[in-house]
């Protein structure tokens, strides 16, 4: 005897990634329907149907979450505060900035720093008229953004420092002689860039911590003016190892007048607050 049989058919659409269920009607012998082979095929089809539906629903949910996450990511903007710059043992300053996503994997920020004798941490290297200003634009590429964001970036920087020193020494430009003085005005300009790597840790919905480190190239120019009562010291001035090869700036770089190019290290921690 022939009857009309309802068969469930699954069809996969490659262009959309979805699996759809269709109902197909066909004629079959009633006795063939209940053979062991057909029962096994029916169970297999039922299992595949349930599995595919669970997979499709899960995939659609994940895709929806990724879209929402991407849209939310693009809306991320933060004010930032550098935690370590006020504790700099040589040139302390307060540095704050603004961070903005400009694409799913790209972001930009700008930081401005300022310090002076009245608001900054007092150090042995400061004179009586310490003042510092800096600006740092930065561009980020995020290569992993699940939980903790991992990025590489390029930072440009310009730093302007001025001070007045008493009873110190300095080395004039193109000289190997050291002079002591009663008072002198100090001026320093520094430009350069860093290639950095960093990690942005999620503390809460609105709070992040940005740990970064990197290395780059800098050029600094130091000038002394209004030098009062300069007195040449005996012997030639011998710079430290790092100053000699212009690799890194050592602790005596403030006294060395002139222009020098070398490597520069970057290390810091920022607090980021979303608004």
The pLDDT, as a whole number, for residue 47 is 52
**% of the chain exceeding 90 in pLDDT:** 53
Going by pLDDT thresholds of 50, 70 and 90, the confidence category of residue 25 is very low
Q: What is the DSSP string of the chain?
A: -EEEEEEEEEEEETTTTEEEEEEEEEEEEHHHHTSHHHHHHHHHHHHHHHHHHHHHHHHHHHHHHHHHHHHHHHT-EEEEEESSGGG-SSS--EEEEEEEE-SSSEEEEEEEEEEETTTSPP-TT--SS-EEEEEEEEEEEEEEEESEEEEEEEEEEEEEEEEEEEEEEEB-TT--EEEEEEEEEEEEEEEEEEEEEEEEEE-SSSEEEEEEEEEEEEEEEEEEEEEES-EEEEEE----HHHHTTSS--TTGGGB-EEEEEEEEEEEEEEEEE-
- Quote the mean pLDDT of the chain: 78
77 vs 26, more confident: 77
Give tens-digit pLDDT for 5-16. Answer: 444 444 444 444
| Percentage above 70 pLDDT, the chain | 68
Domain ranges of the chain: 2-73, 76-274
Q: Does the structure show a pLDDT above 80 at 195?
A: yes
| Domain spanning 76-274, CATH class | mainly beta
pLDDT 10s digits, 119-178:
999 888 889 999 999 999 999 999 987 778 999 999 999 999 999 999 999 999 988 899
């Amino acid at each position: 005897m022939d009857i009309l049989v309802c068969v469930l058919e699954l069809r996969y659409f490659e262009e959309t990634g979805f699996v759809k269920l269709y109902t197909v009607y066909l004629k079959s012998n009633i006795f063939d329907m209940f053979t062991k082979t057909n029962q096994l095929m029916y169970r297999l089809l039922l299992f595949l149907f349930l599995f595919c539906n669970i997979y499709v629903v899960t995939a659609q949910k994940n895709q929806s979450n990724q879209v929402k996450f991407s849209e939310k990511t693009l809306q991320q903007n933060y004010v930032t505060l550098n935690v370590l710059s006020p504790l700099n043992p040589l040139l302390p300053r307060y540095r704050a900035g603004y961070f903005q996503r400009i694409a799913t994997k790209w972001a930009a920020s700008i930081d401005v720093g300022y310090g002076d004798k009245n608001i900054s941490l007092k150090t042995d290297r400061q004179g009586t008229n310490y003042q510092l200003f800096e600006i740092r634009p930065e561009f980020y590429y995020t290569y992993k953004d699940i939980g903790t964001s991992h990025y590489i970036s390029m930072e440009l920087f310009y730093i302007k420092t001025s001070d007045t020193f008493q009873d110190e020494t300095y080395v004039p430009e193109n000289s190997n002689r050291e002079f002591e003085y009663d008072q002198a005005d100090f001026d320093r300009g520094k430009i350069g860039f860093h290639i950095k790597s960093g990690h942005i840790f999620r503390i809460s919905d609105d709070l992040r911590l940005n740990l970064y480190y990197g290395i780059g190239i800098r050029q600094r120019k130091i000038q002394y003016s209004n030098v009062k009562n300069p007195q040449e010291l005996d012997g030639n001035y011998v710079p430290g190892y790092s100053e000699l090869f212009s690799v890194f700036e050592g602790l005596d770089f403030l006294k060395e007048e002139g222009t020098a190019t070398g490597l520069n290290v970057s290390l810091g921690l920022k607090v980021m607050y979303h608004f």
